[in-house]
Amino acid sequence: MSFVIAIDGPAASGKGTLARRLAAHYGLPHLDTGLLYRATACALIEEGLPLDDVEAAVEAARGLSLTDFDETRLRSREMGEGASLVGAMPPVRAALIDLQRGFAARPEGAVLDGRDIGTVICPDATVKIFVTASAETRAQRRALELAARGEEVDFSAILEDVRKRDARDSERSAAPLKAAADAVTLDTSELDREQAFAAALAIAERGR
């Protein structure tokens, strides 16, 4: 059977880094599904369309290809906010299901990270990890990340963003952010990168 690792969690919980490292460790392909929502929002913004245009968002989502992401542009705060808006639209989520499941169905397996991988996209994943951390810890990490990209950083604005995004992602009716019943929760608030990776690896090994 192929080895599929599903990693979910809120914004800046560290799930992306853990997903990348687990993928490298096991030699598996990795899909950061947040990029799909970010790229959908980006397409609307670039065409000058409002982010609440559901039809245009669905069309943009359907037209995505995994190979042409400009990650530098997609990782900005603006695209994160936009992603959270288009991600709340059920038809946009539906339009992105096949792409994600197709990726997860690779014969060798795959690592996917997002908000609904263990609950909706890959309910049969071999290993499910739900990564969390306090809002303050996550805001601090995001601030460091944005500063490293040369963006101007206002910590209280970022904390506010994190809280707003948490609320929107958890309270939406379409695939809300929540741990799958069979996911193992990993709280990284008190862990450094190496400790978090060791803990995630231990969970993956136990579930393998």
Which spans of this chain sit near ligand C5P (rule: CB under 6 A)? 11, 33-34, 37-38, 80, 83-84, 87, 114-116, 165, 169
Q: Which is nearer to ligand C5P, 30 or 38 (CB)?
A: 38
**How are beta strands 30-32 and 3-8 bridged, if at all?**
unpaired
Distance of CA 118 to the CA centre of its chain: 12
Q: Which is nearer to ligand C5P, 162 or 199 (CB)?
A: 162
User: Token digits for 185?
Assistant: 């929760």
Q: If residue 189 lies in a helix (H) or strand (E), which one and from where to where?
A: none
Contact in structure between 38 and 75 (CB atoms under 8 Å):
yes
Q: Least distance from C-beta 23 to ligand C5P, angstroms?
A: 16
Question: Binding site annotation covers 48?
Answer: no
Q: Least distance from C-beta 202 to ligand C5P, angstroms?
A: 23
Question: Binding site annotation covers 23?
Answer: no
| DSSP track, 41-60 | HHHHHHTT--TT-HHHHHHH
Question: Binding site annotation covers 150?
Answer: no
Q: Least distance from C-beta 145 to ligand C5P, angstroms?
A: 11
Query: From the annotation, which residues make up the binding site?
Result: 9-17
Query: From the annotation, which residues make up the binding site for ATP?
Result: 9-17
